[in-house]
Chain A
């Protein structure tokens, strides 16, 4: 019998405290993100599929078509094509294809790249029912970015 009434009183008090907390929270602003209407900026180290870096000075990519990214890729998902052109010292990049279906985002290509021509994109809204949607033409993508 000892503690019967104190138990009831302290219990009632804690219940009232709980109610006041929930009522207080009710008037505060929601903290959730309304996803389809608004979205967060991705963190700097997020790894999306790779993309060509846009050079601020020239307004185009920095790729020298050496093909080290292609050779370094363990899954073989990069195809680089460059050709010699009149009056230009280095090979000019004509195609840069990425097969993202096989990519494991290991980052070997980026580590291999001497001129720092590729980077991870911050793209994360990538859902599709078609496999073809994940074959990227990165050169075309760079041009569309302008």
Chain B
């Protein structure tokens, strides 16, 4: 009978995760468009439903009803599979994210490792999509995406190692539990005992922005240079899946930042812990990401790689060594 309950639980989590990812992808587009509009003192979507709230549904219906055009000369199997590779790992990652003490699909001991393993698959989707398209812009974009992801995964992993050293676990739940009590215990503050917390947090946030290929690091789809980059040749739901994958990755990045640095589901004052605190922190971070996109111009490839190799990697390495030293001395 145990198996039966497990299967039901699995199905509920599966449906819930897919609905959460898709719903977020749809409504983050709305947030993005409204946010961009108001930052530029426009109104944004407002015709479809109150405050344009039905716009994502209309967009979805439009995308789904369009024909999926496969151009001549593309590498058909790769072309078809690339959007799936963009979306599936994003869904997989949600399995191990602890939304609260009890809401977690699978409590895995190496949860952090699993997240990074699946997150690195995302770049493969961009590479395959660009490569299979038989389009010079798509190929340039794929090459850029790979060099960017190689450059930013290194500091991101080094920072993750720092956090694992500080909290002594790779289990995401234990990392959050380590920060229980109040905001002074959170990993991003020096009051936690780790004096380099703020630097670690900022470095991680920059890397997460670069990993999700968001502006100002969206070199892979730089509209002004590469049309639409790796998804130039995609239409219909092929494009839709790439798009949803991108937004799912933003949600994952924000959720991961909340788990690693901002105390997960714990209340800043140690009172009403629960999933709502997780969501509040996550959406505040996502709003910051939107704000950043509409504030900064796109960086050049040269300065993007410079930032990673000359600033982020030395800083994260120094951060790792210093944190290790501090733990040795204080702990």
Q: Is there contact, CB below 8 Å, between B291 and A25?
A: no
Which residues in window 284-301 of B have CB below 8 A to A? 288, 291-292, 294-296
* B311 CB contacts on chain A under 8 angstroms: 8
* B291 CB contacts on chain A under 8 angstroms: 19, 22-23, 26
Tell yes or no: A129 within 8 A of B by CB. no
Number of B interface residues, CB 8 Å? 15
Tell yes or no: A84 within 8 A of B by CB. no
Tell yes or no: B43 within 8 A of A by CB. yes
Tell yes or no: B12 within 8 A of A by CB. no
Q: Is there contact, CB below 8 Å, between A32 and B296?
A: no
Given known A8-B311, A26-B35, A30-B37, contact A18–B42 (CB-CB < 8 A): no
Contact partner of B43 (CB less than 8 A), chosen from A8, A15, A18, A34, is: A34
Tell yes or no: B62 within 8 A of A by CB. no
Q: Is there contact, CB below 8 Å, between B292 and A32?
A: no
> Chain B nearest CB: distance from A112 CB in Å?
46
Tell yes or no: A31 within 8 A of B by CB. yes
Tell yes or no: B66 within 8 A of A by CB. no
A-side interface size class: 10 to 19
Tell yes or no: B328 within 8 A of A by CB. no
Tell yes or no: A130 within 8 A of B by CB. no
Q: Please report the C-alpha to C-alpha distance between residue A26 and residue B42 in the assembled complex, in whole angstroms.
A: 10
Q: Is there contact, CB below 8 Å, between B294 and A22?
A: yes
Tell yes or no: A29 within 8 A of B by CB. yes
Q: Please report the C-alpha to C-alpha distance between residue A58 and residue B296 in the assembled complex, in whole angstroms.
A: 63
Q: Is there contact, CB below 8 Å, between A32 and B38?
A: no
* A23 CB contacts on chain B under 8 angstroms: 291
> Chain A nearest CB: distance from B70 CB in Å?
36
Tell yes or no: A89 within 8 A of B by CB. no
* A30 CB contacts on chain B under 8 angstroms: 37-38, 41-43
Given known A8-B311, A18-B295, A19-B295, contact A25–B42 (CB-CB < 8 A): no
Q: Is there contact, CB below 8 Å, between B296 and A18?
A: yes
Tell yes or no: B11 within 8 A of A by CB. no
Q: Please report the C-alpha to C-alpha distance between residue A32 and residue B37 in the assembled complex, in whole angstroms.
A: 10
Q: Which residue of chain A is the closest to B43 with respect to CB atoms?
A: A30
Tell yes or no: B280 within 8 A of A by CB. no
Which residues in window 2-17 of A have CB below 8 A to B? 8, 15
> Chain A nearest CB: distance from B56 CB in Å?
20
Tell yes or no: A131 within 8 A of B by CB. no
Tell yes or no: A28 within 8 A of B by CB. yes
* A32 CB contacts on chain B under 8 angstroms: 41-43
Q: Is there contact, CB below 8 Å, between A26 and B43?
A: no
Q: Which residue of chain A is the closest to B314 with respect to CB atoms?
A: A4
* B43 CB contacts on chain A under 8 angstroms: 30, 32, 34
> Chain A nearest CB: distance from B304 CB in Å?
14
Q: Is there contact, CB below 8 Å, between A28 and B294?
A: no
* A26 CB contacts on chain B under 8 angstroms: 35, 38-39, 291
Which residues in window 60-112 of A have CB below 8 A to B? none
> Chain B nearest CB: distance from A11 CB in Å?
9
* A29 CB contacts on chain B under 8 angstroms: 41
Q: Is there contact, CB below 8 Å, between B292 and A25?
A: no
Q: A19-B292, A21-B295, A32-B41 are in contact. List 14 more A-B contacts (CB 8 A).
A: A18-B296, A19-B288, A19-B295, A22-B39, A22-B294, A23-B291, A25-B39, A25-B40, A26-B35, A26-B38, A26-B291, A27-B38, A30-B41, A30-B43
Can you sample 16 A-B contacts with CB below 8 Å? A19-B288, A19-B291, A19-B292, A21-B295, A22-B291, A23-B291, A25-B39, A25-B40, A26-B35, A26-B38, A26-B39, A26-B291, A27-B38, A30-B41, A31-B41, A32-B41
Interchain residue pairs A-B with the least CB separation, the first 3: A22-B295, A31-B41, A30-B43
Residues of A within 8 A of B (CB): 8, 15, 18-19, 21-23, 25-32, 34
Residues of B within 8 A of A (CB): 35, 37-43, 288, 291-292, 294-296, 311
